[in-house]
Amino acid sequence: MNIQLEKLTSIYHENTPFEHLALNNITTEFKEGTYYGIIGHTGSGKSTMIQNLNGLLLPSYGEVHIGDITLRRKTKQRIIHLVKKRVGMVFQFPEHQLFEESVIKDVMFGPKNIGMDEETAREKAEYYLKLLNVDRALFDIPPFDLSGGQMRKVAIAGILAMEPEVLILDEPTAGLDPLSHIETMQLFQKIQKEMGITVILVTHDMNDVYEYTDEVKLLNQGNLIRSGRTEEILTDAGLLQKYDLEVPDIVRLTSDLGKKGIEFPKIPKNREEFINLYMKWRDGYAE
């Protein structure tokens, strides 16, 4: 299932003194099975864009096509509900939205809400909790008794259990310790590959965008500046600096070594690849 934005314009408080143009006439596409990063400085329109992708916001002008469903300014709630089955959203600090009396019930809530029967919902819930390494012994305790990291896993399992075709992640690692950060990002990568779903990641962390995504959309003040391959956009230091974004650590280091005459055949994607390329260079196999 592909998502197309067609001349999408999003205006907050239209026709009031507080009118604010959050997205300006955006036409772009999210292709099935691809891992996207949406990047841009605070106020660039990232959040507004993702809220338009699952019906939380409707376009002020233009259209959003989610597969064969079209969202417009006046689309009915019944149609929007269909979109929520297909597009799952993990919000910032998703653990703040837990509310059920037990872990398993919390994870089952989403699937039941989109029409799965009790038994299927339980099956899905158990499957995804297991996938996220949540111990079975914790299934029946209140989610609020868990640690922050575990609560976040439960909240994420609740979204995955709905088996969406598109998964939107809004700053999914905010507030996690560095190790949980890595584990969480690797988990999303695994899910994306195994389930073949589209993932759309919104984050300030350019290292993650560079390492994990296939494609990037760069926004600034409501305009789509660039859309293309991650290796092209995230290695363009001038472009990133112009829009007040960080250059990924690996890209910066590779470029600084290049200035010293240490040239690699390609820019490595992560630390391991960097180490391999550097060792090859050092051993004189670079040619």
Partner 1 sequence: MIEFNDVTYSYRTGNHNALDHISLNFRQGEWTSVIGHNGSGKSTLVKILMGVLEGYEGEIKVDGEVMTEENLPDIRKRFAIVFQNPDNQFVGATVEDDVAFGLENNGVGRDEMVNRVEEALRSVNMLEYRTHEPSRLSGGQKQRVAIAGALAMQPDLLILDEATSMLDPQGRREVLEILREIHREKLTTLIYITHDLAEIGVSDHAVVMKDGRVINEGTVEEIYQDTDALVSSRLVLPFTISLADRLLDGCYMSYDELVERL
Q: Which of 72, 232, 279, 286 binds partner 1 (CB under 8 A)?
A: 279
242 is a contact residue toward partner 1 (CB under 8 A): no
Residue among 105 and 152 whose Cβ is closer to partner 1: 152
264 is a contact residue toward partner 1 (CB under 8 A): no
Which of these segments, 45-53, 80-88, 102-110, 268-276, binds partner 1 (CB under 8 A)?
A: 268-276
DSSP state of 102: S
Strands 69-71, 61-66: pairing kind: antiparallel
Q: Tell me the site size for partner 1, rule CB under 8 A.
A: 27
Q: Which of 253, 264, 269, 273 binds partner 1 (CB under 8 A)?
A: 253
- Sheet of strand 87-90, all strands in order from the earlier edge strand to the far edge: 87-90, 166-170, 198-202, 35-39, 215-220, 223-229
140 is a contact residue toward partner 1 (CB under 8 A): no
The stretches of 87-163 forming alpha helices (DSSP H) are 103-113, 118-131, 148-160
Residue among 229 and 275 whose Cβ is closer to partner 1: 275
- Closest distance to partner 1 from the beta carbon of 74 (Å): 32
Structure tokens at 114: 């989109």
Give the residue carrying structure tokens 């296939």: 214
- Closest distance to partner 1 from the beta carbon of 96 (Å): 10
First to last CA, the chain: 43
182 is a contact residue toward partner 1 (CB under 8 A): yes
Structure tokens at 133: 């390494």
258 is a contact residue toward partner 1 (CB under 8 A): no
Q: Are 95 and 81 in contact (CB under 8 A)?
A: no
What is d(CA 27, CA 13) in angstroms, rounded to the nearest whole number?
22
149 is a contact residue toward partner 1 (CB under 8 A): yes
Residues between 17 and 46 that touch partner 1 (CB under 8 A): 42
Structure tokens at 70: 């079209």
Residue among 27 and 97 whose Cβ is closer to partner 1: 97
Q: Which of 178, 238, 261, 284 binds partner 1 (CB under 8 A)?
A: 178
Query: Which residues fall within 8 angstroms of residue 282, CB to CB, at 6 or more apart?
Result: none
- Closest distance to partner 1 from the beta carbon of 176 (Å): 8
What is d(CA 17, CA 19) in angstroms, rounded to the nearest whole number?
6
Q: x/- binding map, residues 196-225, to partner 1, per CB under 8 A?
A: --------xx--------------------
Phi/psi at 190 (nearest 5 deg)?
-65, -45
The contact set with partner 1 (CB under 8 A) reads: 42, 147-149, 171, 174-175, 177-182, 204-205, 246, 249, 253, 256-257, 260, 262, 271, 274-275, 278-279
